[in-house]
């Protein structure tokens, strides 16, 4: 029986037998409901519009519901329009205000339709859960519309409510709220398997969106961890995030979104690299900046300036951490500027750029005093960016290096393994770890680096581990032997750019190593699956996201615009509902057109596992917690009955 002290605490919320019994009945009702739908997405890479659309459309599920209810009744065009209204209500309303002769009549029609779809997405929930997801003042009217079931009087009742919504002039707000509630209810839990940041324009807007989302968790990716490291003030991480985002022209996000002041870097770059054409440093332009346009040449100069600082600072960290085993990445001391070459792992390569005005051959990893100043100011900007720090703290509070949920295992990159499929021993911080223990150790250290950094050291030093996780060869987030940023920028021959992947990626083609990993994490390979991100799946080359004989799914299908040429599609979502597990394969996202129209292509759904019977909440991890609560409440009832605790009325 539960401890009496604990029961006394429970008694504060459930002061008598009736209250405690009512809670048991509620909990048992929840346990008997079907499991909510889990969505798994990864590698968002700053593509906020495409991501938000995927979520709002519940990866095609909403369109399926529309077809289910209106297939034989409405034309394809009307069903498309209803879908468009749910995905982006503001844009569709704007368009309808212009195009509809009788706007109120249109509102009446669509409110009816929205009610039907909303009923359909809320069948799996208790009425109280649905009510909690409805917005403030409008919740009462919505709740009534959703649950009016007196057949005889229903139409009259609906009409009365809808016409007063229109008379009060709040139809637009009501429609937006209804559309948002539908999208919201269609997804019960959202798992983001890493890489929110870098390449695309607005990871900041993705984070803002997710911070208001009802239920989300993260498994950190290499691109997230390097931002988390930067947020500790770690210079190696700071130079990496700035280099990547300057190279993708993301100035609006850096300066306007996060308030990072790039002026000291900009003036420094202009002065030192002003005469340098910086050809290989020209930014990729996927989206133009709206508020902070920077000319491509100027961006290229900043890109080169920060890249050189990165190579110097990384060199210092490599030397400070022999345990990282990254000496082969020390390249600035292998430059031969007279000959115009660099030696990488014993091989001599011609350089395509020999202008290194700030590198002192005697001490190539030392920053010049001006570079130091630039770094000081960038560090201050990042440490003082309230928005960035808030986003990073959210990644900590809702994220981890991996997650076990409902029998499945989720992580971004890999679990370090050797060619034979054994977990690799990794020695860090004086201890040696492998497999699950390695993941647990790293998770703990990463949290310590941010929340309780070693105060005997300079600011940001504890974040060195995050930099290692970004590009170290035994990092479970990176999974490659090396990151060849220097070679990509300075050597023309593509043979030098190769970044060989670790044995894990070959092993997961087979079933056995995947079973081995599941067992290592205490999961049952007969039911559990691994959800993995990180590696873009090249569909157009015939590659499949399904690995390990159906036990592992790589769901980085490349929502990242930068990678769509290579993959041929625009991303995957993995869906786990009460009946099946499925992969949704998405087509590239088409943005809203100036005339207010937008074309949506529904994803292709492939069911990969059908459950023998409908899965209920009682069969989930959350169910196990609720069962425990029921047991505690039973103990409380028992204590009341036996007079061990006094009842209050």
Ligand X SMILES: O=P(O)(O)OC[C@H]1O[C@](O)(COP(=O)(O)O)[C@@H](O)[C@@H]1O
- Judged by beta carbon, residue 299 or residue 617, the one nearer ligand X is 299
Q: Which does 113 bind (CB under 5 to 8 A by kind): Mn ion, ligand X, none?
A: none
**Percent of the chain that is helix, strand, coil (3-state, to 5):** 55, 10, 35
Work out the angle at residue 199's Cα, subtended by the Cα atoms of residues 532 and 444, and round it to the nearest 5 degrees.
Answer: 50
- Judged by beta carbon, residue 364 or residue 533, the one nearer ligand X is 533
222 lies in the binding site for ligand X (CB under 6 A):
yes
- Looking at 313, 483, 531, 552, which residue binds ligand X (CB under 6 A)? 483
- Judged by beta carbon, residue 186 or residue 531, the one nearer ligand X is 531
358 lies in the binding site for ligand X (CB under 6 A):
no
482 lies in the binding site for ligand X (CB under 6 A):
no
Minimum Å gap between C-beta 548 and Mn ion is 19
31 lies in the binding site for ligand X (CB under 6 A):
no
304 lies in the binding site for ligand X (CB under 6 A):
no
- Judged by beta carbon, residue 45 or residue 95, the one nearer Mn ion is 45
Q: Which one of the spans 133-141, 231-239, 480-488, 623-631 is the region binding ligand X (CB under 6 A)?
A: 480-488
The interface mask with ligand X, positions 518-547, x = CB under 6 A, is: ----------------x-------------
* CB 479 within 8 Å of CB 414: yes
Minimum Å gap between C-beta 556 and Mn ion is 7
Q: Which does 619 bind (CB under 5 to 8 A by kind): ligand X, Mn ion, none?
A: none
Q: Which of residues 558-577 bind ligand X (CB under 6 A)?
A: 562
* CB 427 within 8 Å of CB 323: yes
Q: Measured between alpha carbons, how far is 295 from 114 in angstroms, rounded to an integer?
A: 46
Residue 609 pairs with which residues in a beta bridge? 581
Q: Write the CA distances from 421 to 197, 435, 513, integer angstroms.
A: 31, 11, 6
Minimum Å gap between C-beta 431 and Mn ion is 26
Structure tokens that stand for 299 in this block = 């961006």
Catalog residues that contact Mn ion under the rule CB under 5 A. 195, 221-222, 534
Q: Write the CA distances from 516 to 38, 42, 89, 503, 535, integer angstroms.
A: 25, 23, 47, 14, 21
- Judged by beta carbon, residue 307 or residue 375, the one nearer ligand X is 307
Q: Which one of the spans 289-297, 477-485, 517-525, 626-634 is the region binding ligand X (CB under 6 A)?
A: 477-485
Q: Write the CA distances from 22 to 525, 630, 649, integer angstroms.
A: 38, 11, 14
Structure tokens that stand for 626 in this block = 């609720």
Q: Measured between alpha carbons, how far is 446 from 192 in angstroms, rounded to an integer?
A: 19
Minimum Å gap between C-beta 413 and ligand X is 8
499 lies in the binding site for ligand X (CB under 6 A):
yes
- Judged by beta carbon, residue 87 or residue 197, the one nearer ligand X is 197
- Judged by beta carbon, residue 500 or residue 522, the one nearer ligand X is 500
Minimum Å gap between C-beta 369 and ligand X is 30
Closest CA to 407 of 528, 519, 530: 528
Minimum Å gap between C-beta 285 and ligand X is 13
Closest CA to 162 of 108, 109, 118, 115: 108
Q: How many chain residues bind ligand X (CB under 6 A)?
A: 10
Minimum Å gap between C-beta 582 and ligand X is 24
485 lies in the binding site for ligand X (CB under 6 A):
yes
Minimum Å gap between C-beta 520 and ligand X is 23
Q: Write the CA distances from 509 to 377, 548, 587, integer angstroms.
A: 47, 5, 25
* CB 116 within 8 Å of CB 69: yes
Q: What are the residues whose beta carbons fall under 8 Å from the beta carbon of 532, sequence distance 6 or more?
A: 42, 193, 411, 412, 413, 414, 508, 547, 552, 553, 554, 555
Minimum Å gap between C-beta 485 and ligand X is 6
292 lies in the binding site for ligand X (CB under 6 A):
no
* Distance of alpha carbon 445 from the chain centroid: 21
* Distance of alpha carbon 189 from the chain centroid: 13
195 lies in the binding site for ligand X (CB under 6 A):
yes
Q: Measured between alpha carbons, how far is 640 from 647 in angstroms, rounded to an integer?
A: 7
- Judged by beta carbon, residue 233 or residue 536, the one nearer Mn ion is 536
Minimum Å gap between C-beta 247 and ligand X is 7
3-state secondary structure string across 286-316: CCCCCCCCCCHHHHHHHHHHHHHHHHHHHHH
- Judged by beta carbon, residue 562 or residue 616, the one nearer ligand X is 562
480 lies in the binding site for ligand X (CB under 6 A):
yes
- Judged by beta carbon, residue 166 or residue 330, the one nearer ligand X is 330
- Judged by beta carbon, residue 57 or residue 239, the one nearer ligand X is 239
CA atoms within 13 A on the CB side of 629: 20
Q: Which of residues 142-161 bind ligand X (CB under 6 A)?
A: none
Structure tokens that stand for 125 in this block = 């929930």
Q: Which one of the spans 333-341, 391-399, 479-487, 577-585 is the region binding ligand X (CB under 6 A)?
A: 479-487
Q: Which does 476 bind (CB under 5 to 8 A by kind): Mn ion, ligand X, none?
A: none
Closest CA to 193 of 411, 493, 440: 411
199 lies in the binding site for ligand X (CB under 6 A):
yes
Q: Which does 483 bind (CB under 5 to 8 A by kind): ligand X, Mn ion, none?
A: ligand X
3-state secondary structure string across 378-413: HHHHHHCCHHHHHHHHHHHHHEECEEEECCEEEECC
Q: Which one of the spans 125-133, 313-321, 390-398, 478-486 is the region binding ligand X (CB under 6 A)?
A: 478-486
Q: Which does 96 bind (CB under 5 to 8 A by kind): Mn ion, ligand X, none?
A: none
Helix (H, G, I), strand (E, B) or coil at 217: strand
Q: Which does 586 bind (CB under 5 to 8 A by kind): ligand X, Mn ion, none?
A: none
The footprint of ligand X (CB under 6 A) covers: 195, 199, 222-223, 480, 483, 485, 499, 534, 562
């Amino acid at each position: 029986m539960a401890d009496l002290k604990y029961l006394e605490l429970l008694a504060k919320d459930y002061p008598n037998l009736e209250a405690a019994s009512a809670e048991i009945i509620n909990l048992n009702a929840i346990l008997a409901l079907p499991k909510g739908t889990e969505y798994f997405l990864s590698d968002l890479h700053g593509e906020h519009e495409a991501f938000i659309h995927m979520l709002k459309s519940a990866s095609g599920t909403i369109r399926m519901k529309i077809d289910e209810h209106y297939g034989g009744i409405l034309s394809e065009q009307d069903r498309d329009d209803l879908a468009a209204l749910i995905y982006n209500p503001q844009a569709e309303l704007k368009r309808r205000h212009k195009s509809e002769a009788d706007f109120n009549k249109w509102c009446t029609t669509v409110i009816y339709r929205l009610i039907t779809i909303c009923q359909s997405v809320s069948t799996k929930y208790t009425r109280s859960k649905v009510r909690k997801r409805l917005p403030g003042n409008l919740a009462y009217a919505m709740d009534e519309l959703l649950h009016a079931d007196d057949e005889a009087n229903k139409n009259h009742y609906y009409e009365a409510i809808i016409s007063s919504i229109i008379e009060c002039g709040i139809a637009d707000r009501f429609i937006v709220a209804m559309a948002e509630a539908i999208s919201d209810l269609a997804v019960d839990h959202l798992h983001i398997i890493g890489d929110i940041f870098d390449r695309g324009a607005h990871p900041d807007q993705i984070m803002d969106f997710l911070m208001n989302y009802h239920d989300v968790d993260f498994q950190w990716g290499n691109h997230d961890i390097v931002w988390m490291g930067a947020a500790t003030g770690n210079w190696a991480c700071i130079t990496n995030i700035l280099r990547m985002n300057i190279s993708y022209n993301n100035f609006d996000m850096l300066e306007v979104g996060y308030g990072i002041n790039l002026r000291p870097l900009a003036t420094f770059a202009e002065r030192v690299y002003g005469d340098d054409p910086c050809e290989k440093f020209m930014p990729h332009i996927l989206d133009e900046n709206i508020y902070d346009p920077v000319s491509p040449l100027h961006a290229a100069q900043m890109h080169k300036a920060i890249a050189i600082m990165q190579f110097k600072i990384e060199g210092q960290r490599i030397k400070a951490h022999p345990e990282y085993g990254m000496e082969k990445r020390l390249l600035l001391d292998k430059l031969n500027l007279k000959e115009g070459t660099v030696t990488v792992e014993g091989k001599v390569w011609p350089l395509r750029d020999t202008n290194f005005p700030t590198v002192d051959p005697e001490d190539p990893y030392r920053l010049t005093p001006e570079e130091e100043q630039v770094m000081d100011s960038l560090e201050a900007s990042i440490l003082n960016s309230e928005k960035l720090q808030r986003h990073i703290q959210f990644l900590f509070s809702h994220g981890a290096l991996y997650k076990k949920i409902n029998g499945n295992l989720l992580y971004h990159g890999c679990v370090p393994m050797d060619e034979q499929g054994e977990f690799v021993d990794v020695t860090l911080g004086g201890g040696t770890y492998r497999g699950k223990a390695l993941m647990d150790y790293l998770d703990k250290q990463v949290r310590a680096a941010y929340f309780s950094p070693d105060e005997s050291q300079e600011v940001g030093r504890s974040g060195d581990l995050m930099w290692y996780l970004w590009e170290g060869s035994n990092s479970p987030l990176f999974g490659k032997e090396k990151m060849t940023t220097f070679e990509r920028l300075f050597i023309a021959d593509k043979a030098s750019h190769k970044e060989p992947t670790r044995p894990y990626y070959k092993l997961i083609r087979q079933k056995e190593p995947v079973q081995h990993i599941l067992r290592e994490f205490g999961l049952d390979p007969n039911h559990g699956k691994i959800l993995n991100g990180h590696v873009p799946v090249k569909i157009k080359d015939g590659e499949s996201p399904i690995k390990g004989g159906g036990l592992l799914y790589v769901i980085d299908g490349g929502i990242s615009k930068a990678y769509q040429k290579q993959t041929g599609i625009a991303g995957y979502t993995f869906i786990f509902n009460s009946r099946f597990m499925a992969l949704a394969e998405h087509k590239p996202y088409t943005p809203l057109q100036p005339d207010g129209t937008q074309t949506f292509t529904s994803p292709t759904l492939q069911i990969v596992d059908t459950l023998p019977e409908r899965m209920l909440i009682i069969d989930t991890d959350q169910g196990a917690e609720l069962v425990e609560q029921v047991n505690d409440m039973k103990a409380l009832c028992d204590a009341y009955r036996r007079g061990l605790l006094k009842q209050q009325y």
